[in-house]
Amino acid sequence: MKPDPRLEERRIMRVEQEGAKVMPDMVVREVPLTIYLNGQEFVTLLCTPELLDMLAVGFLRSEGLIGTYRDIISLRVDRERGFVFVETEGGRLAEKLYGKRTITSGCGKGTVFFSVLDSLQSNPVESSLKVSRDEILGLMRDLQEKARLFKLTGGLHSAALGKRDSVLYFCEDIGRHNAVDKIAGLCLRDGVELVDKILVTSGRISSEILVKSAKLGIPVLVSRSAPTSLSIDLAEKLGLTLVGFARGRRFNIYSRLDRILLWEEEQQ
């Protein structure tokens, strides 16, 4: 079987109640990925070495540097050196963002370029999507079932894009932001309409994850973890349905309750 490039085997000492022993263990690979945009070094992301091209595309879309996949003139990945070279329409788009970096609350103190204040000026997400309690919980179960590498290593976050009854894309990465950006890149490449889709994630919903969803126009964001106060404020302003603590048979709804069909409505 071909080795998984996302994994490395290391020798560890496992300490248990009965004693200690040296044994092999699988760990997740973490690598730097530097994005060069229109000939300039733009940003370095720390990530899992899979779908590097889609991670770069999704990151640029999330930061507002491209709107569609057609904005990309060329895209080249140098896996040996950990580089992605992207040429876009409009030339040196990155220059307008220099000096506007924000240190995020995410894994590894990542950097993003959006302004929360700018995001509050964005148009609210418009969608007539209605999703049932069982559909939300079903998508979360699907996410957890597909998280094979997390079960093996405990070192990854996962994200999935779903319709009401099925998962369309699934991605894992050491960073929850990266997992969402990989989903965004795949959607942009394939021209997927997002106004009737649901984004499901394993990680905490902080403001930058919420803004990524809003910029993509995804109306429902679901996590098995907690949201922050700012993410709730942004969800209310930007018209997203925000669901947290989706575990077992329960979840919490923090905004736009009208998109969630509860028991009485499901029976009608």
How many CB atoms neighbour CB 153 within 10 A? 18
What CATH number did the domain enclosing 80 receive?
A: 3.10.20.10
The residue from 47, 107, 171, 187 that is catalytic is 107
Q: Are residues 102 and 140 in the same domain?
A: no
Q: Are residues 111 and 68 in the same domain?
A: yes
- Local confidence pLDDT in tens for the 268 residues of the chain: 678 888 999 999 999 989 999 999 999 999 999 999 999 999 999 999 999 999 999 999 988 899 999 999 999 999 999 999 999 987 655 555 544 444 343 554 455 555 455 555 568 999 999 999 999 999 999 999 999 888 888 889 999 999 988 999 999 999 999 999 999 999 999 999 999 999 999 999 999 899 999 999 999 999 999 999 999 999 999 999 999 999 999 999 999 999 999 865 554 4
Residues 6+ apart with CB under 8 A from 88: 37, 38, 60, 65, 66, 71, 72, 73
Q: Are residues 153 and 94 in the same domain?
A: no
- What are the start-end ranges of the E strands in 105-237? 111-112, 131-132, 157-162, 167-173, 198-201, 220-223
CA dist., res. 252 & res. 39, Å (int) = 45
Of the three residues 93, 117, 141, the one that is the final residue of a domain is 117
Q: Are residues 49 and 146 in the same domain?
A: no
3-state secondary structure (DSSP) of residue 24:
strand
Residue 166 falls inside a structural domain: yes
Q: Which residue, 6, 62, 87, is CA-closest to 181?
A: 62
Residue 13 falls inside a structural domain: no
0.85 exceeded by the pTM? Answer: yes
Q: Are residues 107 and 173 in the same domain?
A: no
Task: Give the total number of structural domains in the chain.
Answer: 2
**Is 107 designated active site?**
yes
